Amino acid sequence: MSRAKEETKFLLTYKFRAYPSALLEYRMENWLYILCNLYNHAIEERKRGWKEEKKTVTYSHQQNSLPKLKKKDPALKLVHSQVLQDCLRRVDNAFQKFFRKEAKYPKKKKLSRYNSFTFPQVWMKQKKKLVEVIKLEKKNSRFAYLHLPKLGKLKIRLHREIDWTKARTVTIKKEPSGKWYACITVEVELDQILREAQAKAVGIDLGVKNLATTS
């Protein structure tokens, strides 16, 4: 792919209202609790490593330590492995911002502040072909189901069409109001973003990481 072609592709995130069943909501709340504990453990491990040994604990080290950590805390096995890795990536990003003097030293999070988790892959390569990690099942013209591994079937209001073959990540978020949302990031062409901005008069920020967000 040419550089000019690459520069016309961006990531656009769409936010869809989600309606989990009581059982699924319980599972998702449990995931947030487990992931918040993992996040805080990773923060503390990095802090202790530098304070006691002047050692920089890296993302790779913490990711490779997950199997050992799962033996100590079996609850981690309830969460999809890629979601656990994304949690550790969040910790790493927080420290990278600190090192670049863009943010303060990372602190542990309260459970009320850890309100989302991310599946970093919708499609995965297996034996030279793409397979779905997450499946989108349309129920009708208004609603669809996201089949989330290790969680179950999440109903969402599909207020607009998206090209699922271009989907890249799915983030499940709980708002302070208690409402749940599914934020689906899709790779799109620049002209599509501009058409949507013109048609709906929405503000779109094309950042340095080629990430745009719209309602």
Report the DSSP beta bridge partners of residue 19. Answer: 155
Q: pTM score, two decimals?
A: 0.86
| 123/128: higher pLDDT | 123
Percent of the chain with pLDDT over 90: 74
Mean of pLDDT over the chain: 89
| 213/68: higher pLDDT | 68
Sign of dihedral through CA atoms 180, 185, 191, 192?
negative
Give residue 102's pLDDT. 96
Percent of the chain with pLDDT over 70: 85
- Rounded Cα gap, residues 136 and 131, in angstroms: 13
Is 50 exceeded by the pLDDT of residue 140? Answer: yes
Give residue 126's pLDDT. 86
Alpha carbon dihedral 79, 82, 87, 89, in 10-degree steps, equals 170
Domain boundaries, the chain: 3-214
Is 60 exceeded by the pLDDT of residue 43? Answer: yes
Q: What is the pLDDT of residues 17-35, one digit of tens each?
A: 999 999 999 999 999 999 9
Give residue 203's pLDDT. 46
Answer yes or no: are the C-beta atoms of 10 and 188 closer than 8 Å.
yes
Among residues 8, 9, 12, the alpha carbon closest in space to that of 204 is found at 12
Mean pLDDT computed over 83-100? 97
pLDDT band at 189 (very low <50, low <70, confident <90, very high): confident
One DSSP character per residue, the chain reads --HHHHTTEEEEEEEEEEE--HHHHHHHHHHHHHHHHHHHHHHHHHHHHHHHH-----HHHHHHTHHHHHHH-GGGGGS-HHHHHHHHHHHHHHHHHHHTTSSPPP----GGG--EEEES-SEEEETTEEEESSEEEE-SSSEEEEEETTTEEEEEE--S---GGGEEEEEEEE-TTS-EEEEEEEEEEHHHHHHHHHHHT------TT-EEEE-
pLDDT band at 207 (very low <50, low <70, confident <90, very high): very low
